[in-house]
Structure 1
Amino acid sequence: MIVRQDTAATSPARSHPGYLAAALVFAIGMAGTTLPTPLYGLYQEQIGFSELMVTVVFAVYAVAVITVLVLAGDFSDTLGRRPVLLCAMALSAASAGCFLLEDGLPLLFAGRVLSGGAAGLLSGAATAAVLELAGPGQQGRAGFAATAANMGGLGCGPLLSGVLAQYTSRPLDWPFWTHLGLVAVAAAVAWSLPETVDRPRPRPPLRPQGVRVPAEVKGVFAPAALAAFAGFSLLGLFTAVAPSFAARNLGVTNHAVAGAIVFTVFAASTLGQSLTRRIGAPRALPAGCGVLVVGLALVASSLLAKSPALLVAGAVCGGIGQGLAFRAALTLVGDAAPAEHRGGTISAFFVVAYVGISLPVVGVGALAVTVDLRTAGLVFAGCVALIAAGAGAYTALRPAKAPASGG
């Protein structure tokens, strides 16, 4: 998720390969946030809790991300990128520690909160670091590196933990020990990165930036934010309950396969985001919403037909649509926002997106208590498809136009 910030950053004096190193740090940090995805079924067996509680455990992560975005989303502009990256790595390590020491729900909740804090810090600081460490002529590649690190990292987390859970003797330990090792590598890399922010002396006090949608952005913001809400709802579904869907309704009990299915939606999202620039944001937003609707229809069909192949097709199609719509929406909102309010406007956009990744999924868990998980999934797919279709139709009929100045 690319956050465009107005920073006090200065570009490196020479072309520097550090943007790829910063992308590696970003990817490792984001992988930790989705590491528990294929493991929730094992935690259910071990601790004994409902599908609703699975979605609540997942949702506290999103609440933590939103809180950090609102309170500390621009702290790296003052403190520097490197200290914030190191803080994010510390939170990621602490999250892994909570899961390793887990003996009940409290530490699961603590681990997810710490993981959300890490993701909230990384969303802005790591993206800015990747872009700022790019040399002349490397901005396009650096932008895609940030996108790939974010979504690719989110996808690699379930893939890694699924394989380790399936093929090692301690399925709830090895994923987090492995991630702790990767975090140590990422922290060392982050420490070695050149600082790109000229930190003022004396340092101004750190204050929460808050969120704000200026009047001149509201026409673009509403449909863009709804598209992000719908797309992130799909990501939340796959990250929180897709392994349960696959196991209970499709007969997929292999943790590695479940992790690979979740990886597919994030890999497809990365592909979709890479296509947005070619299509152009005003056209990519409605197109992405349309593809997302098709993906949701395939997910619903997989539940009706009990077909793993249709679920994978839904992950691919829905992920591409989410990626197209998300990057287009973020581009349009960022370009329309006045420079002096861009940080708060982008934070508001991400607040809506992260509400989308959590609230509908909790609704699925709550509905699954009274009906079966399959029916809850069908209701979810229908509701989110309506939101995506509405946002897509609105932007197709009233295409947004970014200011010539770029905001």
Structure 2
Amino acid sequence: MVDMSTLTQSRPTMTRVRFAHAPGFWMIAAAFLTTMAFSTVPTPLYAIYQRRDGFPTYVITIIFAAYAVGVMVSLYLAGHVSDWLGRRRVALLAVLAEAVAAAIFLIWPAVPGLLVARFISGVGVGVLTATATAHLSELRQIARPGEDPSRSALISSMVNLGGLAFGPLVGGLLAQYVSGPLERPYEIFLILLLLSALGIALVPETVERLEERPAYRPQRVALPAAAKPLFFATAIGAFSAFAIFGLFTSLAPTFLAGVLHHPSRALAGVVAFVVFIAGAVSQVVFVRMARRNQLRLGLVLMSAGLIGIAVGGLLPSLALFVAGGVIAGAGVGLVFRGAVATAASLAEPASRGEVLAALFLIAYAGLALPVLAIGLGIALLPAATALVVFSALILILVNVAVPRML
């Protein structure tokens, strides 16, 4: 017969094998950064898959859209479950899902395998984005109770965008200078993801497990009727911002190799990197600027950047295309930060998470739908023309949305 007193005495010994809350914060941040980097590491590799298998460009957009669909599905179905299952457990499952995706990239590199891997990667990212953001806030609050909560939010945003930036840079450099360009990036990230999972298992939990688990329900959205016009304007702004990021994480390498005649894999990774890192840097540089002024500046930068992207594709000019991407990326960082802050301010505290989930769902639709449209447009129009049409549509959307947000 098992001695129950022995079991209860052993529990404190097990729980001692944990990070403290302060190092636990950085462990979750590192796992979050690794996961977001893995989600964009295929960016410079799509052109290699395309040359190897000979599929048309719109297939790249479908593969990319599988990721965005995975994110949206998981945000709607599982973005909130860490509230009652616990942050550590859900974060661990999300990172392990990313490891499964990395394994599929390695063992099933055909188009169906790429679709499955990207969808699973999107599911993991959607779950981890909501969970890690909440976990980081709670760990920081326990470790530094007197600190301004906005600092944790800024670090979380930096980790998110920083991870998205480093993924294509790592993928592009490995593809350019290391043998096995379609294997080595995934092998490295598989190891990093498994190490991240091990680290997450040692991070303190910040949510008490409920003895009676509530009945499962998908994420709901609650918003006062008077706030809906402003919310939808904010959502359009987020949609437009993510559309620009979608372009640079899916089709930018194709434009670089085709329209601009620069097929370097390393260059494809560097271009995506500088666009994303511009979004992260702009948030830090203008962190003390009033929200309205951030939105105004973001509108100007996104508009100027979209024009630069379109003109760079028409001339063609690599310098103008990249400069336009960097300027637009800086504007995206400010507009999206303003969108999140505006949406959060519209809701009561009890429904704030649901409102933000709705915002992210619409934002990730912006990651998928415009990119799918431009991919289909390339099948019917010259690539440079499709790029101009894309830039014009996003320019109109952002100039409708941001003034309404103000």
Distance 1:369 1:15 in 2: 52
Corresponding letter in the other structure for 1:136: P
The answer on whether the counterparts of 1:250 and 1:307 sit within 8 Å (CA) in structure 2 is yes
Distance 2:330 2:395 in 1: 15
Question: What residue is the counterpart of 1:25 in the other structure?
Answer: 31
Distance 2:34 2:247 in 1: 22
Q: CA deviation at 1:203?
A: 2.5
1:372 lines up with 2:372 in the alignment = no
1:99 lines up with 2:67 in the alignment = no
Q: CA deviation at 1:274?
A: 2.5
Distance 1:287 1:392 in 2: 10
The answer on whether the counterparts of 2:84 and 2:210 sit within 8 Å (CA) in structure 1 is yes
TM-score for the superposition, normalised by structure 1: 0.91
Distance 1:278 1:181 in 2: 38
Distance 2:307 2:364 in 1: 22
1:72 lines up with 2:78 in the alignment = yes
Task: Kindly report which structure 2 residues correspond to 1:195-234, keeping only aligned pairs within 5 A, or say none.
Answer: 195-234=205-244
Question: What residue is the counterpart of 1:54 in the other structure?
Answer: 60
Task: Kindly report which structure 2 residues correspond to 1:162-201, keeping only aligned pairs within 5 A, or say none.
Answer: 162-201=172-211
Distance 2:404 2:215 in 1: 42
| 1:106-164 deviation digits (Å, cap 9, x = unpaired) | 10100010010011011110111111111224434322221111011111111111111
1:349 lines up with 2:359 in the alignment = yes
Question: What residue is the counterpart of 2:145 in the other structure?
Answer: 136
1:286 lines up with 2:296 in the alignment = yes
The answer on whether the counterparts of 2:314 and 2:385 sit within 8 Å (CA) in structure 1 is no
1:118 lines up with 2:127 in the alignment = no
Distance 2:293 2:359 in 1: 19
| 1:258-317 deviation digits (Å, cap 9, x = unpaired) | 101001111011122224541222332233122111111111121122222112211221
The answer on whether the counterparts of 2:79 and 2:127 sit within 8 Å (CA) in structure 1 is yes
**The residue matched to 1:88 in structure 2 has which SS?**
helix
The answer on whether the counterparts of 2:308 and 2:320 sit within 8 Å (CA) in structure 1 is yes
Question: What residue is the counterpart of 1:3 in the other structure?
Answer: none
Distance 1:94 1:238 in 2: 25
Distance 2:21 2:112 in 1: 47
Corresponding letter in the other structure for 1:22: I
Distance 1:29 1:39 in 2: 17
Corresponding letter in the other structure for 1:172: L
Mark the CA change 1:349 to 1:359 in structure 2 (over 3 Å): closer, same or farther.
same
1:251 lines up with 2:257 in the alignment = no
The answer on whether the counterparts of 1:265 and 1:316 sit within 8 Å (CA) in structure 2 is yes
Question: What residue is the counterpart of 1:381 in the other structure?
Answer: 391
Distance 1:268 1:173 in 2: 29
Distance 1:84 1:310 in 2: 43
Distance 1:107 1:389 in 2: 39
Q: CA deviation at 1:219?
A: 3.0
Question: What residue is the counterpart of 1:8 in the other structure?
Answer: none
Mark the CA change 1:251 to 1:121 in structure 2 (over 3 Å): closer, same or farther.
same
Question: What residue is the counterpart of 2:42 in the other structure?
Answer: 36
1:328 lines up with 2:334 in the alignment = no
Corresponding letter in the other structure for 1:89: V
Corresponding letter in the other structure for 2:200: A
**The residue matched to 2:258 in structure 1 has which SS?**
helix
> Deviation above 6 Å: which 4+ runs of structure 1?
none
Q: Aligned to 2:276, which of 266, 283, 290? A: 266
RMSD, matched Cα: 1.6
Distance 1:326 1:191 in 2: 32
Question: What residue is the counterpart of 1:81 in the other structure?
Answer: 87
Distance 1:345 1:214 in 2: 11
The answer on whether the counterparts of 2:161 and 2:280 sit within 8 Å (CA) in structure 1 is yes
Distance 2:392 2:194 in 1: 43
Mark the CA change 1:137 to 1:58 in structure 2 (over 3 Å): closer, same or farther.
same
Distance 1:273 1:223 in 2: 21
Question: What residue is the counterpart of 1:151 in the other structure?
Answer: 161
Would you say how many aligned residue pairs link Structure 1 and Structure 2? 384
TM-score for the superposition, normalised by structure 2: 0.91
The answer on whether the counterparts of 2:308 and 2:324 sit within 8 Å (CA) in structure 1 is yes
Question: What residue is the counterpart of 2:10 in the other structure?
Answer: none
Distance 1:177 1:15 in 2: 30
Corresponding letter in the other structure for 1:32: F
| 1:176-232 deviation digits (Å, cap 9, x = unpaired) | 001001101211111111111112212223321233443142132122111111110
Distance 1:242 1:261 in 2: 8
Distance 1:250 1:364 in 2: 17
| 1:307-330 deviation digits (Å, cap 9, x = unpaired) | 221122112211110010101111
The answer on whether the counterparts of 1:57 and 1:108 sit within 8 Å (CA) in structure 2 is yes
**The residue matched to 1:249 in structure 2 has which SS?**
coil
Q: Percent identity?
A: 39
Question: What residue is the counterpart of 1:311 in the other structure?
Answer: 321
| 1:217-257 deviation digits (Å, cap 9, x = unpaired) | 21321221111111100000000100011111212211111
The answer on whether the counterparts of 1:84 and 1:125 sit within 8 Å (CA) in structure 2 is yes
**The residue matched to 1:19 in structure 2 has which SS?**
helix
The answer on whether the counterparts of 1:290 and 1:388 sit within 8 Å (CA) in structure 2 is no
Which runs of 5 or more structure 1 residues have no equivalent in the other structure?
1-13, 400-407
